[in-house]
Chain A
């Protein structure tokens, strides 16, 4: 671990510990259903993490997030390629995507509940429709950031379409795609909870609804932390892939 990473890890620990101390302090003065003590939250967290039945809920939510993101990513790639290729497609589809971006996730939940019967398809639809515009625009930007100079240089060697994609297009768009995944992962984890809260019979969102009905704040926090851990682990995986894929980037000794 280099000094910058060490410093960041330390800052994260200090910041989180500060919030934990404040929470524990508040728990001394408020009832459990408002501010449960840290040991109570930790116990609930460990219970959920060590119980196979509850872990299925966490894994269900994780699978829904990943399925939604993969679906949105595939649709986003196809749409971005169409927009990049056709000026008229861009003229017609960009306003539609912009409009979709403005629709709140909760509205999509209501629409999906009315439109579809199957819970899984409902959630998949909500995940795709809420993350699709961002994926499309980010992938389109990544494709368009391709250097004209490098494009002409590569074309001059007369590559096949596949070789062109492999040697130039893919390395050019990878940074943008990884950024899109990181941004959309955060969005998707928020949307999936809303979708499960309203229309599901399992998953973290459903469990959060149960905790709310029971006025169990320790349970609500513990379930939320399960999702946060998943997001952090997945963010870490993307960051590791990013660090490997972009290892060629020069590092400045000074930060901005």
Chain B
């Protein structure tokens, strides 16, 4: 267990249940899950579609309330003490979720605007992030004039511009073509590592999880940790292959369980 001061996220016996839309009772999306994420760590959360990854994401973001258990982000209850985490969490969603009526720079400025930051300084910050992500010259373009990759860059810039302590990513590159996703992933990782931020990266791709995570958590439905592994920065190709095979087995065992 990490030292208390170095913990960014804690989940203690967290369960989340939802009412079924047809009124036929409840289903459990997250089942008594416990884990910690230390500051500066990048954790890749891997699992099949519907295993509860996004529920965990919403719980950490404070968008959803746990049915039972305790969650803290930087020592704060993200749902109960919602406003206390203002400016501390940056989120990159699966889709770019840009506001179509705002230009690229105005989209990046959104978080800073909400924080009430000085407009001039904010603009300089937003321009800086757009430039870092290769979008200099596109500041005044509306989202419809940008490609999918460019839009996702804007959404990354929007998340990083508020200088959050924690970055949450929900399959941010899954809608992009492989080449664009690879390039963007590398840029994103560089920026996160440079600023030594904590990140939780949700994905359903084993290769992506192996590439981004300092640690990989594999979830089984309903969300509970089925496998966990540290990924050393100097991981050898053999170890990578071994991990890949192991994760495939873990995910495959869930398929077997479902079929049985």
- Whole-angstrom distance between the alpha carbons of A251 and B254 in the complex? 48
Would you call B82 and A158 a contact (CB within 8 A)?
Answer: yes
Most buried by B among A150, A154, A163, A248: A248
Given known contacts A156-B91, A158-B86, is B114 in contact with A150 (CB within 8 Å)?
no
Asked if B136 is an interface residue, CB under 8 A from chain A, the answer is no
Would you call A250 and B144 a contact (CB within 8 A)?
Answer: yes
Residue of A nearest to B99 (CB): A150
Point out the residues of chain A lying under 8 angstroms from B115, CB to CB: 157
Point out the residues of chain B lying under 8 angstroms from A159, CB to CB: 114
- Whole-angstrom distance between the alpha carbons of A153 and B170 in the complex? 12
Point out the residues of chain A lying under 8 angstroms from B29, CB to CB: none
Point out the residues of chain A lying under 8 angstroms from B237, CB to CB: none
Asked if B111 is an interface residue, CB under 8 A from chain A, the answer is yes
Asked if A167 is an interface residue, CB under 8 A from chain B, the answer is yes
Point out the residues of chain B lying under 8 angstroms from A246, CB to CB: 101
Would you call A149 and B93 a contact (CB within 8 A)?
Answer: yes
- Whole-angstrom distance between the alpha carbons of A116 and B142 in the complex? 53
Interface string of B84-108 (1 = CB under 8 A from A): 0111010101010101111100000
Is chain A's binding surface mostly helix, strand, loop or mixed? helix
Asked if A118 is an interface residue, CB under 8 A from chain B, the answer is no
Min C-beta distance of A156 to chain B, whole Å: 5
Asked if B241 is an interface residue, CB under 8 A from chain A, the answer is no
Given known contacts A158-B114, A250-B144, is B97 in contact with A153 (CB within 8 Å)?
yes
Point out the residues of chain A lying under 8 angstroms from B91, CB to CB: 153, 156
Point out the residues of chain A lying under 8 angstroms from B83, CB to CB: 158
Asked if B63 is an interface residue, CB under 8 A from chain A, the answer is yes
Would you call A167 and B113 a contact (CB within 8 A)?
Answer: yes
- Whole-angstrom distance between the alpha carbons of A250 and B100 in the complex? 10
Interface of B toward A, CB cutoff 8 Å: 61-63, 82-83, 85-87, 89, 91, 93, 95, 97, 99-103, 110-111, 113-115, 142, 144-145, 162
List the 7 closest pairs (A to B, CB-CB), nearest first: A158-B86, A250-B144, A153-B97, A159-B114, A157-B114, A248-B101, A248-B142
| A/B interface sample: 8 pairs, CB < 8 A | A157-B114, A158-B86, A158-B87, A168-B99, A248-B103, A248-B142, A249-B144, A250-B142
